Every structure is written in C-alpha cells, then in structure tokens.
Amino acid sequence: MKRLIWALAILATATWTIAARTDLRESETELLRLLLNPERYDKRVRPPVHNESGYGGDDFVMVKVNTFVRSIGPIDDQNKEFTVSLTMRQTWNDKRLNFSPQDGLKYITLTSAEDIWSPDLFFSNEIEGQINDLLKPNTLVRISHNGDVLLSSRVTMKLSCPMNLTNFPMDTQMCHIRMASYAYPTNALKLMWKEVEPVQFAKSYYTKPFELIGYKTDNCNSRTVVGEYSCIRLHFYFTRLTYSYILHLFLPLGLLVAASWAPLWLDINGEERSSVLKVVGRCVIALLCLLVTIVEAARVTASAPLCSGYSCATDIWTTCCLIFVALVFLEVVIVAVLDHRHNNSHCNSGTTKPGCFSMSHSGAETNDSKFKPNRSYIQKWLLGWPTAGQRIDAICCILFPVAFIIFNIAFWSANSYSLDADIISSMKKIAL
C-alpha cells in the first residue's frame, strides 16, 4: 500500500512538473507574441526617452557596456595589429518590453537580436572580424520584466594597433578597442562603461611575445561634420617579454665585442714584437671578430620588426657594437704599423741619428742618468712599456672595456620603461 502511495505521489509530481513547464512555454510564447507584435512594437524605432536622474530630459538611450576578454593574440608588431576574442555585453532599457512577471518566468531569452531594436555599435579600428557561429551564432538576448535588455555576443576581431618600437625589445605598447555608435548621435544614444567590473579576463589568455599588465577604460566621443557620436574605448597595456631577445640578440653581440679585445692582450709584456706571426695573428683575430659581428648584426636587424622613419634600440645596439669592434681592428692595424716602424728604425751603438733614442727597460729616453724630469704616475706607467705600440695597447686594454661598460649603463637606462600605475586598472580573471 505504501509503495502504491509513493508511486502515485511521484506520478502526480511529474505530471505537475510537465504541466508547469508546458504552461511556462505557452506563457512565454504568448508573451513574445504580445510584446513583439508589429502593431505595438516597431523594432526600427529606438526606445522611448531616457529619464534617469542626472541626465536631464534629453531624449537619448543609455547603453551600458561591459566585456569579457577570452583571449588576446597573436600580437603582430610587423603589421601593427592584434587579435582579440571577447564577449560583448550591452544593456539598455526598453519600456515597450515591460511585462508582468509570472511564476518561473522572470525574463525571456532569445538567440537572435533581429526581432528587437538594438544599438548600432561598431569597432572603428577593426581590420576584420566575425561573430562566432560554428554551430549557431553566439548571441544571447535576455529581456527582463522591467524592460531591461541584455545583448551578449561573442566576437573575434583583428584590430589595428599603432606601435612605437623605439625601445624594441624593451618596449611597452598600448593597444585599444574603440567602440562607437555609427548612426545615432549623442542626443539619441550614449555609450558608457558599466560601473562595476567593466572588463573581465579569462584566466588563460595568450599574449606572447607580450605580457598584459593592465587596462584602462575611457570615453572618446568624436565630432564630425554631421554631428557628435558617442564612443568608448578599452586600452590594453602590454610589456614585451625581453628574456629571449636579450639571450639571442644582445648577448651574442656583447660577447663578440668582448672577444675582440683578445688581440690587445696578446704578448702585451713582450720586449719586442718583431715576429710576423704575432702581428698577423692579432690582425686576423680582430678581422674575424669584425666579420662575425657584421654577420650577427645583419641577423639581429633581420629578426627585429621594421622601424620605419626612426631607429630602434636594436639598431643602436648593433651599430655601437660594430663601432667598438671596428675600433679594435683599427687599433691593431695602427699598432702593427708602429711596431714595424720601431723595428726598422734601430740605433747603432756610438751613433746618433735624428729621432733615434736609446730605450732602456726602465723607460728612460736618454743616456744621461743625471737628467730625471718630474713625471706624473701616468707618464711613468706609460714609459714603462718598451714601444709606442705597447703603450697604445695598454691604454686600449682599459679604455675599450670602460667605454663599453659606460655605453651599456647609458643604453639600458635610456631604454628602461615605466608606467603610471594609477591609470592602469587591475584585472579580474575568470575561469572559462
């Protein structure tokens, strides 16, 4: 008996649920037929006057926008463009769609916006784009009982992004999405960002070779010859991931500059460098470093984005590295010429020739030990080298590394970036 009662109760509940659902569907169908009746609702006409406090009695529709960023990238710095996939949500109030809420029916859901009036929002910096419609168009329309309308669409776009690559690859870029009304001026339609969480981000979004560090929203109303149009804008702030660039672009050239100093240290303490092998060896090493630096600089230039009309940081780095290596090669050649002249202009004992001096190991250029002029420490240090070529080598062994270090300090300081944290909003990430 108890089993029979339970079975009857379950059957009655199921029957009531099915009947309720049927009544709900019939109510929704009847409600749509009533609300969207062409005799009372003309989708070609925008909603009635906006009477929200703070805006006076202007006859305009207030459209609030928020967006959910699903993915960003790739970011193409060669063509100055980026791709973004997002869900755009627009909300406004249309009093013509008010209805009395019923049990279980607090809003109506549609999968197309063709049957109602909707804002004419467009993306002014769009290159190409599409509404995702693999199976069906990814569009949602939700009408609440008080006439509030939510229009949600998933779109994927490629947008232009003017970039300044002066500091490449230590650069920061600001790309934006610019949304505006195409036909309705500001006295008919106004766009504004939602007050709470206007932008949300997926937890996994792709921005390489950049990193998204923040965003900012603002207004950008535009005035044309036919009127003023409402516009809102979303800025993305990116900083480039520089580790791989430093490893593959900057480090090889820096090591080549350091390797080019090797000839300066070869046989620097020798009494004489009369051996042809020593001179040729120094010149060959310096020449090889110069040639390899030229090849590496060409590779770096080819792998960097095109900087039209201005020089990038990579251009400055490659040019200065080439100059440093070329100066080393020039120094080696000059020293080789000086050593050759020194070896050919020797002095015979007991004879005196113009410009011929007896060079002792202590560096004195006179045979009169009684004449000892006062010399500074630097002069004594320079005269401690047997030949003029070795003196030049000794100076360059210190001068070139110091100059390269100073250049590095100035270069990296000039190309370091900083952003005003006050203008960047923190990002709230949501799992997909």
Give the integer Cα–Cα distance in Å for 426 and 432.
19
Residue 38 is predicted with a pLDDT of 83
Residue 13 is predicted with a pLDDT of 53
Residue type at 271 in one-letter notation: E
Residue 18 is predicted with a pLDDT of 46
Q: What is the DSSP string of 100-154?
A: --BTTBSEEEES-STTS----EEETTEEEEEE--SSS--EEEEEETTSEEEEEEE
Domains of the chain: which residue ranges? 29-241, 244-348+358-367+375-414
Helix (H, G, I), strand (E, B) or coil at 231: strand
Instruction: State phi, psi for 189 to the nearest 5 degrees.
Output: -150, 135
Instruction: For the beta carbon of residue 360, count every other beta carbon within 10 angstroms.
Output: 12
Residue 364 is predicted with a pLDDT of 41
Helix (H, G, I), strand (E, B) or coil at 41: coil
Tell me the torsion sign for CA atoms 368, 371, 373, 378.
positive
- Do 29-241 and 244-348+358-367+375-414 show the same overall fold? no
Give the integer Cα–Cα distance in Å for 183 and 160.
22
DSSP 8-state symbol, 97? G
Residues 6+ apart with CB under 8 A from 100: 145
pTM of the model: 0.74
Residue 382 is predicted with a pLDDT of 57
Residue 380 is predicted with a pLDDT of 54
Could you read off the pLDDT tens digit of each residue along the chain, which spans 432 residues?
656 555 545 554 544 444 444 555 666 777 778 888 888 888 888 888 655 544 444 678 999 999 999 999 888 888 899 999 999 999 999 988 888 877 667 788 888 888 889 999 999 999 988 877 777 778 889 998 888 999 999 999 999 998 888 888 888 899 999 999 998 999 899 999 999 889 999 877 777 788 888 899 999 888 888 889 999 999 999 988 888 888 988 999 999 999 999 888 876 555 555 566 677 888 888 999 999 999 999 998 888 887 767 788 899 999 999 999 999 999 888 888 877 676 666 544 444 444 444 444 444 444 444 455 565 555 555 565 667 777 788 888 889 999 999 999 999 988 876 555 555 565 556 555
Architecture of domain 244-348+358-367+375-414: Up-down Bundle (1.20)
Query: Which tokens belong to 212?
Result: 């998204």
Residue type at 283 in one-letter notation: C
Identify the CA nearest to 142 among candidates 180, 110, 102: 110
Residue 418 is predicted with a pLDDT of 55
Q: Give CATH for domain 29-241.
A: 2.70.170.10
